[in-house]
């Protein structure tokens, strides 16, 4: 069984994101970039399935500029067998990414495609669902537990009322939630080995996919700063402030 895993290069979660002075987006120049945390979980789950003997090959896929090779090398260092970069400098929106991943899936014919439930830069939470719609495969979102046996995937997912367990047929799209696993650390020997693993490069044109943006960002602004809190002497003063200053009662 082959598993494909999609990964995205995003601003590192430890970095404080700054909006560009012209309001066209967020600043990425000279900013530390890393693999999207939800995608790290997806890679880890695919590796665990391979270690359990369920999966025989793990292929990491990324869409974006040439710099995404660095993120793919991280996936290879974690243990992925090979990597594919769909290289483009175009701004990629969720639908375009889904179409590219669908084209790669048609080419690679995997039995399972594991995707992070969302990226921490745009928080769209759309790619996995769109990919399932385009491929016509079964889907299970927000997976917190995954078992595969007899051509079926049993997925436990978090819902408002607790946990729900569903069983779906393969091939399938799985989107990962935070509690699915704890990603492993990259070791120096594996970083060296990753340099020798195959990394293929494709283009949207070669895959026959139009990736031109369908949505236009008008302006990006930082959220307004919260006002400082204030202490009140008693409940009467609190009610007075809520009524006359905050005007919420």
pLDDT digits (tens, 9 = 90+) for 144-169: 999 998 889 999 998 888 899 999 99
Q: How far apart are CA 217 and CA 77, in angstroms?
A: 35
pLDDT digits (tens, 9 = 90+) for 64-109: 999 999 999 999 999 999 999 999 999 899 999 999 999 999 999 9
**Strand ranges in the chain using DSSP code E only, listed in sequence order:** 2-6, 9-11, 33-35, 57-64, 82-87, 112-116, 138-149, 152-159, 162-169, 172-176, 199-202
Please choose, from the candidates 19, 61, 13, 16, the residue with its C-alpha nearest in 3D space to the C-alpha of residue 33: 13
DSSP one-letter string for 12-42: -TTSPP-B-TTSSSB--TT--EEE-HHHHHH
Domains and CATH numbers, the chain: 2-244 (3.40.50.620)
115 preceded by a cis bond (ω within 30 of 0): no
pLDDT at 248 over 90: no
pLDDT bin (cut points 50, 70, 90) of residue 226 is: confident
Lowest mean pLDDT among 14-18, 35-39, 52-56: 14-18
Helix (H) or strand (E) holding 130: helix 127-135
CA 3 from chain center: how many Å? 16
pLDDT at 228 over 90: no
């Amino acid at each position: 069984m082959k598993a494909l895993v999609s990964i995205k290069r995003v601003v590192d979660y430890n970095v404080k994101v700054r909006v560009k002075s012209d309001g066209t987006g967020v600043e990425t120049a000279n900013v530390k970039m890393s693999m999207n945390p939800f995608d790290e979980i997806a890679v880890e789950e695919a590796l665990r399935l391979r270690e359990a003997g369920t999966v025989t090959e793990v292929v990491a896929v990324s869409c974006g500029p040439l710099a995404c090779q660095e993120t793919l090398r991280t996936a290879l260092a974690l243990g992925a067998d090979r990597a594919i970069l769909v290289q483009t400098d175009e701004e990629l929106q969720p639908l375009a990414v889904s179409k590219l991943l669908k084209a790669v899936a048609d080419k690679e014919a995997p039995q399972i495609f594991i995707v992070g439930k969302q990226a921490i830069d745009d928080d769209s939470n759309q790619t996995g669902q769109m990919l399932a719609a385009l491929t016509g495969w079964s889907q299970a979102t927000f997976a917190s537990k995954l078992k595969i046996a007899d051509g079926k995937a049993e997925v436990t997912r978090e819902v408002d009322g607790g946990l729900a367990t569903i069983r779906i047929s393969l091939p399938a799209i799985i989107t990962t939630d935070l509690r699915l696993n704890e990603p492993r650390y990259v070791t120096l020997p594996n970083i060296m080995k990753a340099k020798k693993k195959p990394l293929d490069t494709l283009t949207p044109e070669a895959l026959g996919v139009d990736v031109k943006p369908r949505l236009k960002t008008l302006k990006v602004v930082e959220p307004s700063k919260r006002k400082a809190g204030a202490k009140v002497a008693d409940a009467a003063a609190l009610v007075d402030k809520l009524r006359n200053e905050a005007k919420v009662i």
